[in-house]
A and B are shown apart, each in its own frame.
Chain A
Amino acid sequence: MSVKISNSGDKLIIFLSGEIDHHSAAEMRYFIDGELERSTPSVVVFDFSEVDFMDSSGIGLVMGRLRVISGWGGKAVIENPRPNIRKMLKLAGLEKLTGQEQKK
């Protein structure tokens, strides 16, 4: 499984790794939603440092989780995306979640 979860207080850290596509997203979604609903964290960190590929199915995965988290007023951030992941986030208008919008 390419998702690991760690909990620190009210913050849930989700470490993703490998390739996020339509094939892998279904399993990731199922696992992440289970954890989210169990702990309803106020802050969720998606750590992308080990993700080496993501297509628009990954965008669907992120946007779907944002919707779930906003259900209890929680916030989400994305950390350490590689350049190709950042490019995909930017195309989807999600670069703001990385906390460092790059101009260009």
Chain B
Amino acid sequence: MKDITNSMKITIPAYSRNEGLARMCATAFASQLDPTIEEINDIKAAVSEAVTNCIVHAYKDKIGDIQMELRIVGSDTLYIRIKDKGCGIPDVKKAMEPLFTTSPETERSGLGFSVMESFMDKLKVKSSEGKGTTVTMTKRLVTRNEQTDR
């Protein structure tokens, strides 16, 4: 199959209403890969988690910028990078444990990273305290191609 080369980069302020906007942008970009409904829903959820974390954790008491970059890698893989310049995560390994949350009082479930991990193929989190956090995720969209090629 032919390689598709494309990318998109957007910067949005950390308003909670932009959670939906980020999901819509990611969905629109991913649609080039002819994803299944399930794949689209997985991508939506993962993006929602990463962007929400920037809003509720990284920029807890301010409105900073969230950068989302999407790329198509090869013919069938979606790459998403979501970056903030917020407070950072002191212990990334701990933060990624299921049910771990630093904000139980606001009814966070501590499952954001678990969702990203299980709904995407790969997840990488890089963070530095006081500087910010970058979440990188990839997902290979194969279901439909494999079904129609058979």
Binding site for B on A (CB under 8 A): 19, 21-23, 25, 29, 53, 55-57, 59-61, 63-64, 83-84, 87-88, 91-92
Most central of B38, B45, B52, B112 by chain A CB within 10 Å: B45
Question: In B48-105, which residues have CB < 8 Å from any A CB?
Answer: 48-49, 52, 55-56
Q: Is the CB of A55 within 8 A of B16?
A: no
- Interface of chain A, main secondary structure: helix
Chain B residues, Cβ within 8 Å of A64: 107
Chain B residues, Cβ within 8 Å of A23: 16-17, 19-20
Chain B residues, Cβ within 8 Å of A55: 45, 48-49, 52, 112, 115
| Nearest chain A residue, comparing its CB with the CB of B99 | A92
B108 contacts the other chain (Cβ, under 8 Å)? yes
Q: Is the CB of A92 within 8 A of B17?
A: no
Q: Identify the 4 closest CB pairs spanning chains A and B, nearest first.
A: A84-B41, A60-B107, A23-B16, A56-B111
Q: How far is the CA of A61 from the CA of B108 in the complex (A)?
A: 8
Q: How far is the CA of A61 from the CA of B111 in the complex (A)?
A: 13
| Nearest CB of chain A from residue B31's CB, rounded to whole Å | 16
| Nearest chain B residue, comparing its CB with the CB of A84 | B41
B109's partner among A21, A83, A84, A92 (CB-CB below 8 A) is A92
Q: Is the CB of B109 within 8 A of A60?
A: yes
